[in-house]
């Protein structure tokens, strides 16, 4: 018998979609019906998994038009959602140029500073207008440093983050699940604060050990119907 007990951690996916140019050549009525079908599917899935948010990337990236940020209990739920998206009329016109899979996990560096890190086993996004996302990989040399040395550098990193209370960080972990090690997603209503935060973090010692932190995606939150409307 399969074990159906809920897993205390969540599977998280950041799925980016791009509409085929042929989509914009369809009749207005056909596109409207297809957008409505997919929007209703997304709303239905919001009742089935812990979290599902829609974002537009039109005008922000040349290789993606929208992003769906989802948290599920199992990989099968992630798979089933994507299968149903692909089965819709609009889904037949969507490519997935980027897709990042991750999992929630307590931070080994924040635990001793912030007892609320126990809550980070669940994705609990706020209602910010913007979301900035990128995959993140550290050098192997980082993991060979003594933990105390890494903790000291991360303390400085965390302290800078606390200077920007308008920016909320969501860190998820991809070790062994996907090509990156982490996916970081920053929620904010102030893009200028996020830019200043990233600039400040570049000056920390821990940034020496960054191997890759691109591509970067700027996303605008919206209801599914509104996000799909931006596809044209």
Instruction: For domain 11-102+220-229, give its CATH number from 3.40.228.10, 2.40.340.10, 3.30.70.1030, 3.40.50.12780.
Output: 3.30.70.1030
Give the span between the Cα atoms of 37 and 15, in whole angstroms. 19
Please give the pLDDT value at position 86: 98
Strand, helix or coil at 174?
coil
Please give the pLDDT value at position 51: 96
Please give the pLDDT value at position 111: 63
Give the span between the Cα atoms of 64 and 15, in whole angstroms. 10
Smallest CA-to-CA distance from 180 within 97, 96, 103 is with 103
Please give the pLDDT value at position 1: 42
Q: Please give the backbone phi and psi of residue 114, each rounded to the nearest 5 degrees, phi first.
A: -140, 105
Q: Above pLDDT 90, what percent of the chain? A: 87
CATH number of 115-217: 3.30.70.1030
- pLDDT digits 0-9 by tens, 152-181: 999 999 999 999 999 999 999 999 999 999
User: Does the fold of domain 115-217 match that of domain 11-102+220-229?
Assistant: yes
Give the span between the Cα atoms of 124 and 166, in whole angstroms. 16
DSSP 8-state class, residue 7: P
Q: What is the mean pLDDT of residues 209-225?
A: 97
Residues 6+ apart with CB under 8 A from 153: 204, 205, 206
State the CB neighbour count (10 A cutoff) for residue 220: 19
Residue 11 has pLDDT above 80, yes or no: yes
- pLDDT digits 0-9 by tens, 29-54: 999 999 999 999 999 999 999 999 99
Smallest CA-to-CA distance from 171 within 133, 200, 116 is with 133
> In the chain, where are the structural domains located?
11-102+220-229, 115-217
């Amino acid at each position: 018998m399969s074990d159906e007990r809920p897993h205390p951690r969540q599977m998280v996916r950041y799925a980016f979609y791009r509409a085929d140019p042929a989509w914009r050549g369809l009749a207005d009525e056909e596109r409207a019906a297809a957008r409505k079908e997919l929007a209703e599917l997304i709303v239905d899935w919001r009742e089935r998994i812990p979290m599902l948010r829609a974002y537009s990337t039109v005008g922000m990236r040349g290789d993606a038009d929208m992003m769906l940020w989802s948290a599920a209990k199992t990989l099968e739920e992630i798979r089933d959602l994507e299968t149903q998206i692909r089965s819709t009329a609009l889904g037949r016109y969507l490519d997935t140029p980027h897709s990042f899979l991750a999992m929630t996990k307590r931070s080994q560096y924040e635990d001793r500073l912030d007892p609320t890190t126990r809550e980070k086993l669940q994705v609990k996004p706020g209602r910010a207008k913007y979301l900035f996302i990128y995959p993140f990989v550290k050098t192997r040399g980082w993991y060979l440093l003594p933990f105390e040395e890494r903790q000291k550098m991360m303390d400085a990193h965390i302290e800078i983050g606390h200077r920007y209370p308008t920016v909320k960080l969501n860190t998820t972990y991809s070790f062994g699940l996907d090509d990156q090690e982490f996916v970081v997603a920053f929620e904010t209503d102030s893009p200028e604060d996020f830019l200043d935060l990233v600039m400040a973090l570049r000056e920390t010692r821990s940034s020496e050990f960054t191997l890759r932190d691109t591509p970067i995606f700027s996303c605008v939150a919206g209801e599914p119907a509104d996000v799909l409307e931006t596809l044209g």
